[in-house]
Amino acid sequence: MAGKRGFGSIRRLPSKRYQPRYTGPDGLRYTAPHTFDTKLDAEGWLTDVRREITADTWRPAGAAPPKYRTVGDYAESWLTARTLKPRTTEHYRQLLDRLILPTFADTAIVAVTADGVRRWHTSMPPRPTQRSHAYALLKAILRDAVDDGLIPANPAHIRGAGSARRAHKVKPATLAELAGLVEAMPPKYRALTLVAAWCGLRFGEQVELRRKDVDLSAGVLHVRRGAVRTKTGISIGGPKSAAGVRDVSVPPHLLPMLRKHVYDHAAPGREGLLFPAGHGGTLAPSTLYKVFYPAREAIGRPDLRWHDLRHTGAVLAASTGATLAELMARLGHSTPAAALVYQHAADGRDAIIAAKLSELANPKG
């Protein structure tokens, strides 16, 4: 005969001893490893089990203590175990400290619920990109917790929460604007501006180019490294992704100016930086912006960001009829989705396409 109670149940065996049973946090049914002389003793055992569950110290009989009891413990180990770019590590650290751990640091991993994740996501500041990055990071951490056997399923499953619409609508520079921008820049920065736009290099890739990476006879830039600025200083490593290691052909019309720049402004020696700072070291974004901001004002484009020049390069390359694969190779992207971020309809291109469609309908001759 079994007696019902608020937590678990107790049955009296034919031997007249009492056997308690309960359902654990993992959803499985457990029976006490031994029986009791009195029902009161069995109830006391169930009370002790319930306290363990409430305090998150419960574990199945014979199981090892969990290595990570809280989200905070697991997240710290998760971040330490990963080999990431310095900027990525810094970014994840900020997301954890500012947005994730204030809510979940002391929460037992097994206690994280879909409801709790939704409430946390709703309570975050209304900054779409930051929210999506924080959610994606928490989801990745919890996904690995599932793989490690700490939780049965990932409670982070809010549709679309890991992506955000681009907050800044990019308007690539026109050829006339680009020419005006170059003219407004000091001579030392003109080649840098042209390479950003016509070759589509990232700023970190540009400032790590060295004389040995420039093949003027073949008209090729060998992109092999990238500079990343973090709170602790400048870190030199590989480009943003494996696909970032590439050779980029320089449009022939840029070669005379690039050749002159190497002669006038590049640091000496094969290891000399192509676009050095005034002190000879790595050029900082803040130094560039001191001349770039007035130049963009001069052409009436105060909205133009330096990174938008890379978008401009993508549009110019696309307007030549380059395939997606060719654009991916030129921009240093490993996935089509990444390359498509930089695709925009070049002004006047649609009219050209329409004209070519008419040629198909009415072929000459």
* 212 within 8 A of 355, measured Cβ to Cβ: no
Q: Is 149 left (phi over 0), alpha (psi -120 to 50) or beta?
A: left
Instruction: Retrieve residue 217's tokens.
Output: 């006879």
Please count the other Cβ atoms lying within 10 Å of the Cβ belonging to residue 190: 20
Q: Which helix (H) or strand (E) holds 259?
A: helix 255-264
Among residues 121, 133, 190, 310, which one is catalytic? 310
Q: Which residue has the tokens 């029902």?
A: 39
- Torsional sign, CA 248, 184, 230, 261: positive
Distance CA 1, CA 23 (A): 18
Return the structure tokens found at 21.
């049973």
Exposed/middle/buried for residue 123 (C-beta within 10 Å: 0-12, 13-18, 19+): exposed
Of how many residues is the chain composed?
A: 365
**Residue 342 annotated as catalytic:** yes
Closest-CA residue to 203 (of 306, 294, 81): 306
Contact between 10 and 46 under an 8 Å Cβ cutoff? The reply is yes
- Cβ atoms of 157 and 114 within 8 Å: the answer is yes
22 is catalytic: no
Selecting among 22, 92, 189, 342, the annotated active-site residue is 342
Active site residue 265: no
Please tell me which residue in 93, 98, 157, 307 is annotated as part of the active site: 307
Task: Give yes or no: 59 in active site.
Answer: no
Do residues 43 and 10 touch, judged by C-beta distance below 8 A? yes
Tell me which of 131, 133, 190, 202 is the catalytic residue.
Answer: 202
202 is catalytic: yes
Maximum distance among all Cα pairs of the chain, rounded to whole angstroms: 106
Cα 308 to Cα 103, 122, 301: the distances in Å are 36, 32, 11
Catalytic residues: 202, 307, 310, 333, 342
